[in-house]
Structure 1
């Protein structure tokens, strides 16, 4: 892992948290840095980035005050995704909404061009990147 790659990961995490960057910009920067997928765990307040050679890098972020709701509501997650895509909410509001919808985390597959959101009981909802299907 190069220092430059670590810097990109830290900057993407900070910029997301500070709402200075959009999801498409994050994906583009991570893809350019060689990331093939990443997993964000809202409960542990960390994101793990995965590289094709098996290397990983973990970045912690500020934890959210509320835990994910017990029941997973895919329609609530989908509604939050549509709202952030439309620009009516930013990243912090998005995270709060998906937590209230029972989302405990997500896996972004840059290679597979999709995000899988999951709840506490293993329920999940898949969102394809725009234009991926």
Structure 2
């Protein structure tokens, strides 16, 4: 892992939380840096960014007081994704994350190769979203 790749991952994590950069822009920056995807683990408050050679960088996420609900609410996750995509002024990634946890989302995997995000619950229920970026 090169220092510039770690710096890009850190920038993208912080930019998501402060609203500087949209999801498509984050995807583009991470792909340009050589990453093939990343995981968000809400239970550990960590994001892990993966390179094709198996190397990865783990970054701590800002903590959030909400617990991951035992029940995975697929419809609520889908609605939260639509909210994130709507580009409305009151959207924030911190609020998205808090609400995703209360909707039973334990984390998600973003695959740049597969052009999809797989949201999952504590019982391994999933919700899949495809993206173009």
Name the structure 2 match of 1:53: 53
Structure 1 vs Structure 2 CA RMSD: 1.2
* Offset of residue 33 of structure 1: 0.5
TM-score normalised to the size of structure 1? 0.94
- Structure-2 separation of matches of 1:39 and 1:110: 11
Gaps of 5+ in 1: none
Q: Which runs of 4+ in 1 moved over 3 A?
A: none
Name the structure 1 match of 2:105: 103
Number of residue pairs matched? 131
TM-score normalised to the size of structure 2? 0.94
Q: Aligned runs of 1:65-104 on 2, under 5 Å?
A: 65-88=65-88, 89-104=91-106
* Offset of residue 126 of structure 1: 0.3
Contact 2:17 2:92 (8 Å CA) reproduced? no
Gaps of 5+ in 2: none
